[in-house]
A and B are shown apart, each in its own frame.
Chain A
Amino acid sequence: DAGVIQSPRHEVTEMGQEVTLRCKPISGHDYLFWYRQTMMRGLELLIYFNNNVPIDDSGMPEDRFSAKMPNASFSTLKIQPSEPRDSAVYFCASSFGTSGRYSYEQYFGPGTRLTVT
């Protein structure tokens, strides 16, 4: 399996621009998580989906952030308009939802390093 795939790996954009981050979870996983990692705040959960449905978006910092999961193999995190304080590494992770040995384990993608100037 290729693991969780994220694109782009690096994104540099100017303040005010729209940014779209993409994630492909591991095939068969039915939970998908978006995290943000910064030096100041550590690893923060932004939103997570179960079977393509958003379950908890309480970590989304502002209305400028939105996430979608149109199908089981693709999710996007969009920031519009972007601001310098959004600069961070954004990770996507996926996991099995059924009970059993491998449930709850989250597998992380390589992350997208976003820089907003």
Chain B
Amino acid sequence: AQSVSQHNHHVILSEAASLELGCNYSYGGTVNLFWYVQYPGQHLQLLLKYFSGDPLVKGIKGFEAEFIKSKFSFNLRKPSVQWSDTAEYFCAVNGPSGAGSYQLTFGKGTKLSVIP
């Protein structure tokens, strides 16, 4: 079964600091990768996704992620965080292909607190 690991449970940063959230997945085949964001009291929203092609993916609000196949990683980055980025971030992967490929496996989430 697919599994997703997010290394940090809670990250606290000051505004303007750079952000990198780690995500590793277990499946070695073809996968699609996602980062979702959940602002306090809200539902999950898609931040960015990787399907194929350029391993550096740009998403909304200045976020980007890099897919490194050899490391089974899909880390999320932002050069300069803002207080409004305070939220919980979830990494997700679909697969394996075939039955169940439309099912997403989510990591446990990383809470980001940005201090003004």
Q: Does A15 contact B (CB under 8 A)?
A: no
**What chain A residues lie within 8 Å of B94 (beta carbons)?**
104
Does B43 lie within 8 Å of A108, measured CB to CB?
yes
Q: In whole angstroms, how far apart are the Cα atoms of A31 and B49 in the complex?
A: 18
Please provide the chain B residues from 98 to 113 with a CB less than 8 Å away from any CB of chain A in the complex. Answer: 99-104, 106-109
Does B43 lie within 8 Å of A91, measured CB to CB?
yes
Does B32 lie within 8 Å of A104, measured CB to CB?
yes
Known: A108-B44, A110-B43. A42 touches B106 (CB 8 A): yes
**B102 CB contact (under 8 Å) in A91, A103, A111:** A103
**8 interchain residue pairs of minimum CB distance:** A108-B43, A108-B44, A42-B108, A43-B106, A104-B94, A110-B43, A104-B32, A31-B102
Show 11 A/B contacts (Cβ-Cβ < 8 Å), sorted by A: A42-B108, A48-B102, A48-B103, A55-B100, A56-B100, A91-B44, A93-B44, A97-B102, A104-B49, A104-B94, A108-B44
Please, how many residues of chain A have a CB less than 8 angstroms from a CB on the other chain? 23
Q: In whole angstroms, how far apart are the Cα atoms of A49 and B100 in the complex?
A: 11
List the interface of chain A (C-beta within 8 A of B). Answer: 31, 33, 42-43, 45, 48, 50, 55-56, 91, 93, 95, 97, 101, 103-111
Known: A109-B43, A111-B43. A101 touches B51 (CB 8 A): yes
Q: In whole angstroms, how far apart are the Cα atoms of A116 and B73 in the complex?
A: 39
Given contacts A33-B103, A110-B43, 8 further A-B contacts (CB under 8 A): A31-B102, A43-B106, A55-B100, A91-B44, A104-B34, A108-B44, A109-B43, A110-B42
| Chain B CB within 10 A, most for which of A42, A48, A106 | A106
